[in-house]
């Protein structure tokens, strides 16, 4: 049976929720959720598996992602980029990469143009201690309509798992937004193959097809 999510106030006790994927459990405090990073943290916080509420993925996505520093493992890297892509188009992505290789994020795609909708892409690039890209995420593409046509503002929760060995080598990650998904992917793949420094890749993409930064 699915339990619908109820918005919590900041004074209520934390709640544990779980979507369709049984591998990920979230704690909700102050109306925001954060992934419990591992079983050790779950036990150390005194959480009880009997109190986990099952919710639909739709209801899970409706709960904003919020920082809860006391749950953050030392190996967590944040994802944070707010971009203006030109022509009235915007993208915002927030989330985290955990030491296990799990990515938990949400992206808001929006436009203020009347008739000009667009499709924007989000990529993550994982770099080692020398600032050299070693891998990239999947392509995450989101589209919106013009304000007079249909849905012009859309927020989507998404998750991904990368190879744990890649996560172990990753000391920084770069977030990229672009409304030219194929071109962006090709540039990132070429940068990885040529071991192009991540800061140079960010500079090149910002000057042409999109926006990006490293965290």
Reading the chain (215 residues) residue by residue, the pLDDT tens digits are 333 333 333 345 578 999 988 778 899 988 889 888 776 577 667 677 888 999 999 999 899 988 654 555 546 788 989 999 999 999 999 888 887 788 888 899 999 999 989 999 999 999 999 999 999 999 999 999 999 988 999 988 888 999 989 998 999 999 999 988 888 889 999 999 999 999 999 998 888 888 888 87
How much is the pLDDT for 108? 93
Task: Walk me through the domains of the chain, giving residue ranges and CATH numbers.
Answer: 15-71 (3.30.2390), 77-214 (2.60.40)
Measured CA to CA, the distance from residue 156 to residue 154 in angstroms comes to 7
Outline where DSSP puts E strands in 87-164: 89-97, 102-111, 118-127, 133-136, 140-144, 153-161
String of DSSP letters for 80-108: EEEEEEETTEEEEEEEEE-TTSEEEEEEE
How much is the pLDDT for 6? 38
If phi > 0 it is left, if psi is from -120 to 50 it is alpha, else beta; for residue 101 that is left
Burial 182-213 (b: 16+ CB within 10 A, else e): eebbebbeebbeeebebeebbeebeeebbbbb
């Amino acid at each position: 049976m699915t339990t619908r999510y109820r918005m919590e106030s900041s004074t209520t006790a934390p709640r544990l929720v779980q979507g369709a994927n049984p591998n990920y459990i979230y704690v909700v405090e102050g109306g925001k959720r954060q992934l419990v990073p591992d079983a050790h943290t779950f036990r150390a916080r005194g959480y009880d598996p009997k109190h986990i509420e099952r919710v639909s993925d739709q209801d899970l996505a409706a709960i904003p992602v919020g920082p809860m520093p006391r749950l953050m493992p030392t190996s967590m890297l944040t994802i944070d980029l707010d971009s203006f892509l030109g022509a009235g188009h915007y993208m915002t992505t927030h989330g985290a990469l955990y030491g296990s290789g799990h990515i938990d994020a949400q992206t808001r795609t929006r436009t203020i143009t009347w008739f000009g909708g667009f499709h924007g892409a989000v990529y993550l690039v994982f770099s080692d201690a020398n600032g050299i890209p070693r891998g990239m995420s999947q392509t995450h593409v989101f589209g919106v309509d013009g304000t007079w046509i249909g849905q012009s503002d859309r927020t989507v929760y998404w998750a991904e798992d990368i190879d744990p060995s890649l996560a172990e080598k990753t000391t920084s990650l770069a977030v990229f937004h672009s409304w030219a998904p194929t071109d962006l992917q090709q540039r990132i793949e070429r940068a990885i193959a040529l071991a192009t420094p991540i800061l140079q890749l960010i500079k090149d993409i910002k000057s042409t097809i999109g926006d990006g930064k490293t965290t």
